[in-house]
Amino acid sequence: MGMVHLFQTLLNWTDFQMPLEEAIQNPRLHLEGLQLNIEKGFDEEVISKLELPRDWQRLIWTEKSMFFGGVNGVAADVKGNLKGSGDERRFGVVMGE
DSSP annotation string for 29-72: EEEETTEEEE-TTS-HHHHHH--PPTT-EEEE-SS--GGG----
Mean pLDDT for all residues in the chain: 91
pLDDT at 97: 57
Q: Which residue has the higher pLDDT, 72 or 96?
A: 72
At residue 36, φ and ψ (nearest 5 deg) are -95, 115
Distance CA 61, CA 1 (A): 17
How confident is the model over 56-72, as a mean pLDDT?
94
**Which value, to the nearest 10 degrees, does the dihedral of the CA atoms of residues 77, 64, 52, 58 take?**
170
pLDDT tens digits along 17-51? 999 999 999 999 999 999 999 999 999 999 999 99
Distance CA 14, CA 58 (A): 28
